[in-house]
Amino acid sequence: MGKYMRRRLLQVIPVLLIVTVVVFFMVHLSGDPTSMMLPQDATQEARENLREALGLNRPLHVQYWIFIKGLFQGDFGISHKYNAPALPIVLERIPASLELCAVSIVLSVVIAIPLGVWAARAHGTPFDSLVNALAVLGQAMPSFWIGIMLILLLGVKWTLLPVSGRGSMAQLIMPSVTLAIGTSAQIIPLVRSSMLEIVHEDYIRTARSKGLSERTVIYRHAFKNALVPVITMVALQIPALFGGALITETIFAWPGLGQLMVTGVTNHDMAIVQACILMITFITIVVNLCADMLYCLIDPRIRM
Amino acid sequence: MGKKNAHKGANPPSGFRKYAGLLFRSQTGTIGFFILLMILIIAIFAPHIAPYDPTSVDLRGMRMPPFWMEGGSMEHILGCDNLGRDLWSRIIYGTRVSLLVGILSVLLAGAFGIVLGMVSGFYSGWIDSVIMRVTDAFFAIPRILMAMVVLMVAGSSVGVLILIIGGTSWVPFARMIRSEVLALKEKEFVKCSRSIGTKGTVILLRHILPNVMSSFIVLCTMNIAGNIISEAALSFLGVGIQPPTVSWGVMLAEGRKFLGTHWWIGTFPGIAITISVLGIMFLGNWLRDVLDPRNQGIK
């Protein structure tokens, strides 16, 4: 296991490096930042001076080196909108994003696992078909439309829930449900098919023939093994969830990273955008790494 | 056994009829096929089907509700938006952008992904490591974020949108094709071919490529659905398709502003997206069942 994990950890380094190169070039190609920082009628000389001060006249690789050095020192650039370093502004938003992401992951697992297991046990019955149909429908509906429809019904028509902001439990419900619908729709078919595959295994037959109760067979023997692909799937959903949260946060005015990023793009605030992307990517990589470790713990075959 | 099965994919029984027969035996497959056919027809013949010009403003019809509600009329069956533009006509024209971006971006991503996946799986070694780390990096950066930044920089048009969505969605193609090639490489027919001195590129193109095609087609179909949603999402956020070009995402963004009073403006474009995506997914699921050699039981 140690060897596998060491190799897995080492792989993260080039990935992070490539991410920084991609982000650096994306930001670099975004044009001349001085045009955003100076007033319209600034002289050519003032522009040149600022370019010189920002190091924009140096060769690309030198600029990249400075960029990387800055990242290690926690310097993610200065946001011209907030007129402050970008990193603290981004860090401030992380709790809100993590809260939303965690709640919706938990919610979608709580919805998906029982539904998937029940559908597999009721294989071929109308209940099974119903769960399947719901899962397909959940995947087909774009999350932002689900959000809009929830606002329309729960917020505007029946005025049950607040439609925006963060602070109370009630405000958390709609955005997390919006995200959870799509995510659980992805997980349900996987739980179902993985359960269906496993109930035909020999060790399940053995467990049954030993006279164990159906409950023990399903939850102790089958479910534990069916969980392995589900963990990967949940981990794979996390980047998608951040991407989806971008829109969901905008719709519900949830003050997370996604919303900051969207306003950053609208304001052409490259420092903020860059810091957001790096932060979200970093979180994604860490989460995937954790999923791999968990995978390792659950399925001993991978440790080899 | 491996040899026989593998070649089945290479030379599918040349039967359009066989597939048509299989299609109509599957309920969801049939539904998916007809939905896609319907959308294609609507997109191609939009000017003949749409009752109004999607951009013409009619102040008398401003925010007119759908026909079954009070104040609605059969002249505008789904009602009108805030500027009095006919919603039904706008939805019809919206299929054009959705399908165009969805299909072309998948072709781009597929072409890119299949090349990377095949090279990486077949040659292994350092080239595999490099390609896979780049793939990991692109996987870690959320697609929508990357697309937003590039669109903000490059400006937005249908062409740019296709390039961006295609250029950020190749990762699943590369990963899946690579894992298939890794498995195929060990099959007897590849080893045989190698033993008689066939060149690597010939093996790759002649023996391996035909065998990954079925998974490739399935993945393409599924990704069209995903990319249609991406286009709508980017347009919804205001960085994708720009008005006056009609797109379902733009319509949703406009509808969102009038949720409290005129629910139909934001509801119908979402239904249009859901139906299209559903149809494509049904068709993709059916293709997966039919083309996957592991599911040969449903002959």
Domain parsing of chain A, residue ranges: 2-87, 94-303
Q: How many angstroms separate the CA of residue A216 from the nearest CA in chain B?
A: 31
Which B residues in the span 220-249 are in contact with A, Cβ-Cβ below 8 Å? 225, 229, 232-233, 236-239
Residue B273 forms contact with A (CB below 8 Å): yes
The percent of residues in chain B predicted with pLDDT above 70, rounded, is 92
CA distance A114 to A176: 19
Whole-number pLDDT of residue A293:
80
Q: CA nearest B259 in A: which residue?
A: A152
Hunting for tokens 């998608």 — which residue is that? A240
* B282 Cβ under 8 Å from any chain A Cβ: yes
A94-303: CATH superfamily: MetI-like (1.10.3720.10)
Q: A277 to chain B nearest CA, in Å?
A: 7
Chain B nearest CA to A142, separation (Å): 6
- Judge whether B230 and B248 are in contact, CB under 8 Å: no
- Residues of chain A in contact with residue B136, where contact means CB-CB under 8 angstroms, are 11, 15, 18
| Contact: A19, B137; criterion CB under 8 Å | yes
Q: What percent of chain B is predicted at pLDDT more than 90?
A: 41
Summarize pLDDT for A45-65 with one digit per residue, the tens. 877 777 777 777 777 888 888
User: How does residue B36 score in pLDDT terms, banded at 50, 70 and 90?
Assistant: very high
| Residues of chain A with C-beta less than 8 angstroms from the C-beta of B225 | 140
pTM greater than 0.95: no
Give A197's contacts in chain B (Cβ within 8 Å). Answer: none
Q: For residue A221, which of A229, A230, A234, A212 has the smallest C-alpha distance? A: A212
Q: What angle do CA A76, A79, A80 make, to 5 degrees?
A: 150
Q: What is the mean pLDDT of the segment spanning B96-122?
A: 94
Q: Does B264 touch chain A (CB under 8 A)?
A: no
Q: What is the mean pLDDT of chain B?
A: 85
- Verify whether the Cβ–Cβ distance B266 to A148 is below 8 Å: yes
Q: Which of B139, B145, B278 sits opposite A140 (nearest CB)?
A: B278
Q: Cα–Cα distance between A139 and B108 in angstroms, integer?
A: 23
Phi and psi dihedrals of A241, rounded to 5? -70, -40
For chain A, give the mean pLDDT.
84
Q: Do A26 and B153 touch (CB under 8 A)?
A: yes
pLDDT for A254 beyond 80 = yes
Give the whole-angstrom CA distance, residue B177 versus residue A13. Answer: 25
The mean pLDDT value for A124-142 works out to 91
Interface test with A, best of B130, B133, B149, B165 (most A CBs within 10 A): B149
DSSP SS3 for A84: strand
Inter-chain touch A268–B152, beta carbons under 8 Å: yes
| Alpha helices for B71-170 (secondary structure H) | 87-123, 125-140, 143-154, 158-168
Which range (A128-132, A201-205, A276-280, A296-300) has the least confidence?
Answer: A296-300
> How many Å is the maximal CA-CA distance in chain B?
78
Tell me the pLDDT band of A243, cut-offs 50, 70 and 90. low
Predicted confidence at residue B84, as pLDDT, reads 83
For residue A224, what pLDDT is reported? 79
pLDDT of residue B8: 46
Predicted-complex ipTM score: 0.85
Q: Do B153 and A142 touch (CB under 8 A)?
A: no
Q: Residue B297's pLDDT is what?
A: 43
Choose between B275 and A3: higher pLDDT: B275
3-state class (DSSP) for residue A78:
strand
- Coil, strand or helix at B86: strand
Dihedral sign for Cα A219, A221, A226, A230, please: positive
**Confidence check: pLDDT of A4 > 80:** no
**Please, which residues bridge with residue B86 across strands?**
B80
A23–B144 C-beta distance less than 8 A: no
Q: Is the dihedral of CA A218, A220, A221, A226 positive or negative?
A: positive
**Residue B138 clears pLDDT 70, i.e. is over it:** yes
Decide if pLDDT at B201 tops 70: yes
Q: Which of B134, B145, B222 to mutate to test the interface with A (most CBs of A within 10 A)?
A: B145
d(CA B11, CA A298): 41
Which residue type occupies B48? H
As given in the structure block, the two tokens for residue A84 are: 């402050």
* β-sheet bridge partners, residue A79: A84
Cis peptide before B244 (omega within 30 of 0): yes
**Mean pLDDT throughout B83-97?**
91
Per the document, the length of chain B is 299
Distance, in Å, from the CA atom of A120 to the CA atom of B161, rounded to the nearest integer, reads 40
Place of tokens 């990319």: B227
Q: What pLDDT does residue B5 have?
A: 46
Q: Quote the crossing angle between the two packed helices A270-298 and B125-140, to the nearest 10°.
A: 120
Q: What is the token pair recorded at B27?
A: 């309920």
> Is the pLDDT score of A167 beyond 90?
no
% residues pLDDT > 90 (chain A) = 17
Residues B125, B34: Cα–Cα separation, whole Å: 46
Q: Rounded distance, CA B26 to CA B187, Å? A: 32
For B141, which residue in chain A has the nearest alpha carbon?
A281
